């Protein structure tokens, strides 16, 4: 199964253990809002918060490109503050896991 499918299934079923399995131990995320970086444990805590909220929803998700080295995806998400964003994500892959991700997002109307 592709990392996109594993990642998407994990979020759809709100399975934090499956999310954790997708992330490499050396995982780094670059926040599009500030350019700051988050490590694997920080991201897991953020994902736990997302998954515990009924207001955070993936409205639409599609893979634009994936191979053994990279994943490019586009997602539309609703957030707990009532906003909706179109998110372009780029991830580097290593050993079948996501080791690095960064995103760009655009606020959109619901």
Q: What is the pLDDT of residues 31-75, one digit of tens each?
A: 887 889 999 999 999 999 989 998 989 999 999 999 999 999 999
Domains of the chain in sequence order: 3-108 (3.10.450.50)
Q: Which helix (H) or strand (E) holds 8?
A: helix 3-12
Three-state DSSP state, 81: coil
Q: Is the pTM of this model over 0.85?
A: yes
* Residue 35 pLDDT: 84
Q: Average of pLDDT values for 1-30? A: 95
């Amino acid at each position: 199964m592709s990392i996109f499918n594993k990642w998407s299934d994990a979020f759809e079923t709100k399975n934090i253990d499956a999310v954790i399995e997708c992330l490499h131990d050396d995982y780094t995320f670059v926040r599009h809002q500030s350019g700051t970086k988050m490590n694997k444990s920080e991201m897991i805590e953020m994902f736990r918060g997302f998954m515990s909220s009924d207001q955070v929803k993936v409205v639409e998700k599609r893979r634009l490109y994936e191979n053994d080295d990279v994943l490019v995806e586009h997602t539309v998400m609703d957030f707990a503050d009532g906003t909706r964003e179109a998110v372009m994500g780029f991830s580097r892959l290593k050993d079948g896991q996501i080791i690095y991700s960064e995103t760009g997002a655009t606020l959109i109307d619901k």
